[in-house]
Amino acid sequence: MEWVWELYKEYVTRQLERSFKAGPDEERLEKAFLKILSESTVTVLVQEPWHNSVRFKGLAKYDIKDMMALINDPMNYLLKNFGGGKFKLNFHHNELNFVGTRNFKPEGEPKWEDMPGIDF
């Protein structure tokens, strides 16, 4: 879960600095990270060719309880559920506040091409 912490670190630190005048200590950072993560969603998008350009197709949106397998092993999760492609994972706190994004590119046959897209 280290890669997720790297995405959230700046966001969590800013949230704590708004609440406390002094910089947050490690224990407070860890607690705040776990709380914010528990209130987060992740959207899975895939890059697809579109006319003479590319666009991102939304494939899934998960709450924390449904995204642990994705967080623990993103490459295998994406390959198993969506096949190969250029994926973008967008993390949001409380669905409104953008936290960060991370790209993955598992190699394999794309299963996602015939999947319906979601609004994001």
**Mean residue pLDDT across the chain:** 92
Residue 60, in any domain of the structure: yes
Q: Which domain holds residue 57?
A: 2-114
Return the structure tokens found at 22.
């002094």
Residue 110, in any domain of the structure: yes
Residue 33, in any domain of the structure: yes
Helix (H, G, I), strand (E, B) or coil at 102: strand
Which residues on neighbouring strands pair with residue 46, listed in sequence order?
A: 57, 87
Work out how many domains the chain is built from and give that number.
Answer: 1
Q: What is the pLDDT of residues 8-65, one digit of tens each?
A: 999 999 988 887 766 678 888 999 999 999 999 999 999 998 888 999 999 999 998 8
Residue 84, in any domain of the structure: yes
Residue 120, in any domain of the structure: no
Q: What is the pLDDT of residues 56-101, one digit of tens each?
A: 999 999 998 899 999 999 999 999 999 999 999 999 999 899 999 9
pLDDT at position 43, please?
Answer: 97
| pTM, two decimal places | 0.90
Helix (H, G, I), strand (E, B) or coil at 43: strand
pLDDT at position 21, please?
Answer: 63
Residue 119, in any domain of the structure: no
Give the ranges where the chain is alpha helix by DSSP (H): 2-19, 26-38, 64-72, 74-82
Residue 16, in any domain of the structure: yes
Helix axes 74-82, 64-72, angle to 10 degrees: 110
Largest interatomic CA distance in the chain: 51
Closest CA to 67 of 103, 43, 94: 43
Residue 7, in any domain of the structure: yes
Other beta carbons within 10 angstroms of residue 115's beta carbon come to 15
